[in-house]
A and B are shown apart, each in its own frame.
Chain A
Amino acid sequence: MNRLCTHFKTSTEAEITYLRRNFLLMNLHEYQAKELLKKYNVPVQEGFACTSVQEAEEAYRQIKTQTGSKFAVVKAQIHAGGRGKGAIRENGMNGVKVAKSLEDVQDIAGKLLGGTLVTIQTGPAGKVVNKVLVAQDMYYDGPSERKEFYLSILLDRSKGQNVIMYSTEGGMNIEDVAHDTPEKIFKEWVHPSGGLQAFQARKIAFNLGLTGEAFKNCVKFVTNLYNAYVGADCSMLEINPLFKASDDKIIAVDCKMNLDDNALTRHPDLAALRDVTEEDPTEVEAGKYNLNFVKLDGNVGCMVNGAGLAMATMDMIKLSGGEPANFLDVGGTANAQTVEAGFKIIMKDPAVKAILINIFGGIVRCDRVAAGVIEAYKNLGNINIPIIVRLQGTNAEEAKKLIDESGLKVQSAILLSEAAELVKKAVA
C-alpha cells in the first residue's frame, strides 16, 4: 500500500488522487505525450528518446549544439511517476538526472537502460527501463525569475464537464499541496458547448501571477493544451511542472497523459503507441480473449459474467474466509473457449487454492456454459484444486445436472449463498 491509499481530508485532495490514478486507460510515455503536444503547438522541453548509450550520446551532442549549454537531463521512460526520487535497484541511479558532460550522459544512460527502476508508484517490483529521454535543460539563467506551476485537465464526473485544475505550487507532489494548502488549488470548468474561452485562459494566467510575455505565453499554452486534451480524447493530462523559464517561455517540462480506451478507434495513430511491455503480461493475454482480468493477491480465483457481479463475487469470497486472487469478467459470452482461457490464466498463479465460477445466465444459457466448463476441464486434464461452479438463470437446473453427472471433481451450486458455503469449505 502506498500513500495514495490513505484517507483524505479534503475533497480536492481526493479529486487529485482520483485524477492521478491510471484509470480507464491507455498510458503514454512522457516522450510520446510530448510529441503529441507539439502537434498542438504546446511548447515542451525538447529531447530525444533513446534505446542505447550511443543514441543518448548523439542526442546530447545535438542538444548541446542547439542550446549552447552543456547541461542536459536524462529521464527514464516508464509508466509510473516518482522517477526523480526513485532509483535503479541494481546501481542506485535516480530515474531523472541532470548531466553536465558527455561522460555524465554515458554514465546515467548506461545505468538506467536495462535497469529496474523502483519508485513510490511502481511498487517494490519496479519497472524495467527500455528507453531514456535525453532532454534540454530548462533551468538556464536569464532576466526573469524561474517558476514551477502545476496544471492538469480531467473530467469532473459530477458536473459532466472537463475541468482545468492548477496551482502556483508546481514541481512537487500535488497531493501534498491539496492536503496542506487546498486554497492554493484553483479549478476552471469548461462548458461543453462553447469550449475553453479566452477569458478563462487569461484568468488562469492571472491566478498564476504572470505578467507581460509570460502571461501571453501562458494563455496560448493553456488554450493549445486544452485543444490537445479534447483532440486526442485524453482522459487525463497533467503538466507538472508547468515551467516559466527565465526568458518568460512557458514550457511543459513533464507530461503525464492517459487516453480514453473507448476513443482509440478514432485515433489509430495513438492506439499504435501502446507499450504492452509496460502492462501486466497476464492481463495482456486475457485481453486477447476479450477477458477483463485484473491480478490480485489472494487464494481464490474467480470467473464471473458482468463487472458488478464479479466485484460482488470477490466480496463474497472475502466474507467466506478467502481472498480473491483476481477480478475476471468473461462478459456476455461464456463458452468453452473463454472458460478454458480463463482457467489457464487463473491457474498460472500458484497461490490459487480454489476457483469459483459464477455465471448468471440471461441471454447466455447456463447449460451451454456448463458444457463449456466440462469441455474446458477435460481439455486441461489435471486440475488439482477444487472448482466450484455456480450457474443461475436460464436453464440453471439442466446445467447443474450436467455438471453433477459429468463425473468431474466439480462442485455445483445454484444459489449464491450455496456457492459461498462451498468457498468457505474450500478455504477452511
Chain B
Amino acid sequence: MSILVNKNSKVLVQGFTGTEGTFHATQMIEFGTNIVGGVTPGKGGGTHLDRPIFNTVADCVKSTDANVSIIFVPPAFAADAIMEAAEAGVALVVCITEGIPVQDMVRVKNYLQDKNTRLIGPNCPGVITAGEAKVGIMPGFVFKQGRIGIVSKSGTLTYEAADQVAKAGLGISTAVGIGGDPIIGTTTREAVELFMNDPETDAIVMIGEIGGGMEAEAARWIKADGNRKPVVGFIAGQTAPPGRRMGHAGAIVGGADDTAAAKMKIMEECGIHVVSSPADIGKKMAEVIGKK
C-alpha cells in the first residue's frame, strides 16, 4: 500500500471553495484521488465539484469518514486549520500553504504533540502514491508507478527526481514533499523510516537542502538501522553562499553541520549513495538497484 496515502484514503479539502482549493481539488479528482468533501466555514450545506461542503472539519469527518486532509487556506489562517483537523481526529494532514508565520508553527507543533495526527508540510507539494492517490499539487503524470520512494524538501526538485527515476526505467511507490520551512510536521528521518518499513518500496531517493540538521539525522538513523534499503541522496545548495536565504525559509547555512558539503559527507559516511549533480539522481538509482 506504499506509505501515507493510497486508493482507500478518504480526502477532505480545507479551503475547498477558494481558487487554489478548487483548482487542485479538480486536479486531484482527475487523478483518481477519493475526495469526499471539503470545508469552507460559512458555506456548509452546499456542494462544490459535486462534493458536500461543511462548516467544520469535525462535521465533514462525521459525515464522510475522511481520514486525510489537504489544506489550501491562506497563511494567516493555516495554523488554525491544521489544529482544527487534528482536533477532529484526521490521521494525516497535508498543509500546502506557504508563508505561515513561524511562531504560529511553534504553537501547532506543540498542539500536535498529544494528537494522533501526522502533519506533512507546511509549504510543501504534498504526497503522491503513484497510480493510487495524489494529495498535493504535483503533476501526477510524472510519477510512474514503481518501487522507489522519494522524500524531499523541495517541490520541483521532487518532480525532477521522479522524472529521472522514470526515465531510468524505474518508478515511484510514494513521493513525500516534506516542505522547506524551519518548523515542519514530518522530518526527513520519519519519512525515511516509513519507507524502510514499507514492503512496496525497494529503495529511497532522499533530497535535502542546505540548512538544518534533518538530513544528517536521517543519515545516522539509516546507518543505525542497518542500511536495510539502498538510499540515493542529493543536497541542493552546494554553491549557495552562507547567510543568505534561498527562497525556502529553512534553506540557510548556519553552522558546521548544515552546509551541503558537511551533509553530503555525513550521508556518505552513513552508506548513502550521494550524487553531486542533480542530473545524476535517476542514473545513480538505476546503478544502485542494478547492483543489488
A327 to B116, CA, bound (A): 39
A262 to B182, CA, bound (A): 12
A15 to B252, CA, bound (A): 12
A319-B276, A393-B139, A394-B141 are known; give 19 further A-B pairs, CB within 8 A: A8-B256, A11-B255, A13-B255, A14-B255, A15-B254, A24-B252, A192-B107, A230-B103, A262-B101, A294-B245, A307-B209, A307-B248, A308-B207, A308-B247, A311-B239, A311-B247, A312-B160, A314-B238, A417-B280
Interface presence of B21 (CB below 8 A): no
B248: chain A residues at CB < 8 Å are 307-308
Cβ of A7 and Cβ of B256 under 8 Å apart? yes
Cβ of A310 and Cβ of B106 under 8 Å apart? no
Asked if A312 meets B234 with Cβ closer than 8 Å, knowing A317-B239, A363-B137, A416-B164, the reply is: yes
Interface presence of A375 (CB below 8 A): no
A296 to B244, CA, bound (A): 10
Interface presence of A402 (CB below 8 A): no
B255: chain A residues at CB < 8 Å are 8, 11, 13-15, 17-18
Within 8 A of B (CB), among A402-423: 415-417, 419-420
B138: chain A residues at CB < 8 Å are 362
Cβ of A308 and Cβ of B101 under 8 Å apart? no
Cβ of B243 and Cβ of A23 under 8 Å apart? yes
Interface presence of B153 (CB below 8 A): yes
Cβ of B153 and Cβ of A308 under 8 Å apart? yes
Among the listed A5, A235, A304, which residue makes an inter-chain contact with B242, where contact means beta carbons less than 8 Å apart?
A: A5
Of all chain B residues, the one with the shortest Cβ separation from A229 is B103
A329 to B237, CA, bound (A): 13
Cβ of B103 and Cβ of A260 under 8 Å apart? yes
Interface presence of A221 (CB below 8 A): no
Chain A to chain B contacts (Cβ below 8 Å), 13 pairs: A11-B256, A11-B257, A262-B99, A294-B245, A296-B239, A306-B247, A307-B154, A308-B153, A310-B246, A312-B157, A315-B239, A315-B260, A361-B139
Size range of the chain B interface in the assembly: 35 or more
A394 to B102, CA, bound (A): 34
CB 8 Å contact bits of A1-40 with B (1 = contact, 0 = none): 0001101100101110111011111000000000000000
Among the listed B27, B110, B245, which residue makes an inter-chain contact with A192, where contact means beta carbons less than 8 Å apart?
A: B110
Cβ of A311 and Cβ of B183 under 8 Å apart? no
A294 to B139, CA, bound (A): 28
Interface presence of A265 (CB below 8 A): yes
Interface presence of A360 (CB below 8 A): yes
**Using a CB–CB distance below 8 Å, which chain B residues touch chain A?**
23, 27, 75-76, 99-107, 109-110, 137-139, 141-142, 152-160, 163-164, 167, 180, 182-183, 207, 209-210, 212-213, 234, 236-252, 254-257, 260, 276-280
Cβ of A155 and Cβ of B106 under 8 Å apart? yes
Cβ of B247 and Cβ of A316 under 8 Å apart? no
A329: chain B residues at CB < 8 Å are 247
Within 8 A of B (CB), among A297-321: 304-319
Within 8 A of B (CB), among A385-405: 392-394
A263 to B102, CA, bound (A): 8
Of all chain B residues, the one with the shortest Cβ separation from A331 is B247
Cβ of B159 and Cβ of A393 under 8 Å apart? yes
A263: chain B residues at CB < 8 Å are 101-104
Q: How far is the CB of B88 from chain A (nearest CB, A)?
A: 20
Q: How far is the CB of B149 from chain A (nearest CB, A)?
A: 18
Q: How far is the CB of B214 from chain A (nearest CB, A)?
A: 9
Asked if A416 meets B254 with Cβ closer than 8 Å, knowing A260-B102, A307-B247, A308-B154, the reply is: no
A415 to B281, CA, bound (A): 12
A357 to B248, CA, bound (A): 20
Asked if A316 meets B252 with Cβ closer than 8 Å, knowing A262-B102, A306-B157, A393-B163, the reply is: no
B236: chain A residues at CB < 8 Å are 308-309, 311-312, 315
A319: chain B residues at CB < 8 Å are 276-277
Stretch with Cβ within 8 A of B (4 or more), from A156-164, A199-207, A245-253 = A156-164
Asked if A392 meets B240 with Cβ closer than 8 Å, knowing A14-B255, A24-B245, A308-B209, the reply is: no
Cβ of B156 and Cβ of A309 under 8 Å apart? yes
A192: chain B residues at CB < 8 Å are 106-107, 109-110
Q: How far is the CB of B191 from chain A (nearest CB, A)?
A: 15
